[in-house]
Amino acid sequence: MKARFKAKYNIRKGDTVVVIAGDDKDRSRPRQVKEVLLEEGKVIVEGVNLITKHTKPSANNTQGGIVKKEAPIQISNVMLWDAQEKAATRISKKRGEGKTPRVSKKSGNPI
């Protein structure tokens, strides 16, 4: 995704999100973000979009075999989870001194 300006997303590594679109769609089950791929506009979410990878034996993995791992999904297919409301939420940013905290639009609490 080449652009003149670097894209900014509200989702960061370690956030709790729900998948709102795709094969693993489940709005009631929060999951953890493992990695955010900014250039591609994708995220890797724990237990979502599992693929099987066939690996050859090597020095690191002497056994080889079939490995299951998470593949990236579009960042637009996930939504932040508000633990207090127990639902997916959008966020706003409160201006203040120093860092601007992300605030849930449903409950008004910082994420």
Map out the domains of the chain with their CATH numbers. 16-57+64-83 (2.30.30.30)
pLDDT at 53 over 90: yes
The pTM assigned to this predicted structure is: 0.84
3 state DSSP class of 25: coil
For 50-67, the DSSP string reads EEEEEE---SS-SS-EEE
What are the structure tokens assigned to 109, written together? 């609490």
pLDDT at 1 over 60: no
Report the pLDDT value the prediction gives residue 61, as an integer from 0 to 100.
Answer: 84
The angle at the Cα of 6, spanning 107 to 110, to the nearest 5 degrees, equals 15
